[in-house]
Amino acid sequence: MSEVTRAFLDGMLLKNPVFMTFTGALLAAVIPRSARTSWAPAARYSVVFFFAALLGGALANSLSSALVPLVFVGTSLVSVLVLRHLGELSGEWMGMPAAILAIAPLLGIQMLVAQAGEFAGVVASAGGNSLGFFLAFVLLGAIRETSRISEAKPVFKTNPVVLFSMAVFALALVGFIFW
């Protein structure tokens, strides 16, 4: 298996930004409401995450290390603006701008992708992370919807189910080995 393929598969599975490296866990746990309504937002988030990771990862590897955090923050803030322009992250979440939910995944994915080294690896890792986030977002939307409409007692619905489901997905992803 080539290094590029490995970077892609690692980004999607072994270093999945939701289940394995947690950077997108909060965003994917609280935003998607149902499978059907999650496709379009998931696609928007994934595309923006891909380009943010590509830009941040590539610049981090070519600039002086003192500038790297500024690049990451700048890219994240611009990405949030783009997401808001696309209709995502509007309104508030727990009294603060909902945009705050996307900052950790944006920064985290850039930091992880920057470790991929060469540009081809950065592209592959960015693609893997974005695709991994897309799939996790839709899956968790479906799980939240199923839990909400189930006949279980309210105490068991939504967040506990989502978190335990994430544990199961993490367990499944831990089993992947590429060589």
Partner 1 sequence: MDGSIRTERVVLLGLVTLLGATVTVVTAVAALAISAAAALVVCGIGRILRPSEKVSDAVRWSVLLTVGFGISWILGPLASYVAPVPERAVLFLQLSGVAPIVYYGVARRDGAGSDGDARVDSLRSWVLFGVILLGTGLVREVFGRGTILGYLIITGYAIPADFMGSPVGAFLMAGAIVLAARLLPGQRIEAEGGVHE
Binders of partner 1 in range 16-55 (CB under 8 A): 19-23, 25-26, 29-30
* Residue 177 makes contact with partner 1 by CB under 8 A: no
Residue 89: phi and psi, rounded to 5, are: 55, 30
Q: Please, which residue, 2 or 35, has the CB nearer to partner 1?
A: 35
Binders of partner 1 in range 55-114 (CB under 8 A): 69, 72-73, 77, 93-97, 99-101, 103-104, 107-108, 111-112
State both tokens at 132.
Answer: 């991994």
Q: Please, which residue, 2 or 160, has the CB nearer to partner 1?
A: 160
Burial 45-74 (b: 16+ CB within 10 A, else e): bbebbbbbbbbbbbbbbeeeeeebeebbee
Q: Check if the beta carbon of residue 19 is closer than 8 Å to that of residue 135.
A: no
CB of 121 to partner 1, least distance (A): 18
